[in-house]
């Protein structure tokens, strides 16, 4: 099965935001693999959150790299 391109993923987030304007949209599993260098675009596309650090059974992207990305694009962060 052909996987989605990073831009297809961004477009999908945009469509979810359009059809679900008042609902939280989190982008988590597969973010590093599918979005690659476009990970920061999820917030411009309409996502309201993501998971940072390690996941339940796999290692995620380094938390500090994600925190720097959030600072660079001026996204406010909230802990659980």
pLDDT digits (tens, 9 = 90+) for 3-30: 899 999 999 999 999 999 999 999 988 8
pTM of the predicted structure, to 2 decimals:
0.86
CB atoms within 10 A of CB 23: 9
Domain boundaries, the chain: 6-72
**CA 59 centroid distance within chain:** 16
Q: Identify the pLDDT of residue 10.
A: 98
pLDDT digits (tens, 9 = 90+) for 39-80: 999 999 999 999 888 877 878 888 899 999 999 999 988 875
Report the C-alpha gap between 28 and 32 in whole angstroms: 9
Q: Identify the pLDDT of residue 44.
A: 96
Report the C-alpha gap between 57 and 36 in whole angstroms: 20
DSSP string, 53-68: S--SSS--S-HHHHHH
């Amino acid at each position: 099965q052909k996987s989605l391109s990073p831009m297809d993923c961004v477009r999908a987030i945009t469509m979810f935001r359009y059809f679900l304007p008042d609902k939280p949209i989190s982008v988590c599993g597969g973010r590093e693999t599918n979005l690659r260098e476009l990970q920061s675009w999820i917030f411009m596309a309409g996502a309201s959150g993501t998971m940072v650090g390690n996941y339940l059974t796999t290692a995620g992207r380094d938390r500090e790299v994600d925190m720097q990305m959030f600072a660079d694009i001026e996204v406010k962060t909230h802990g659980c």
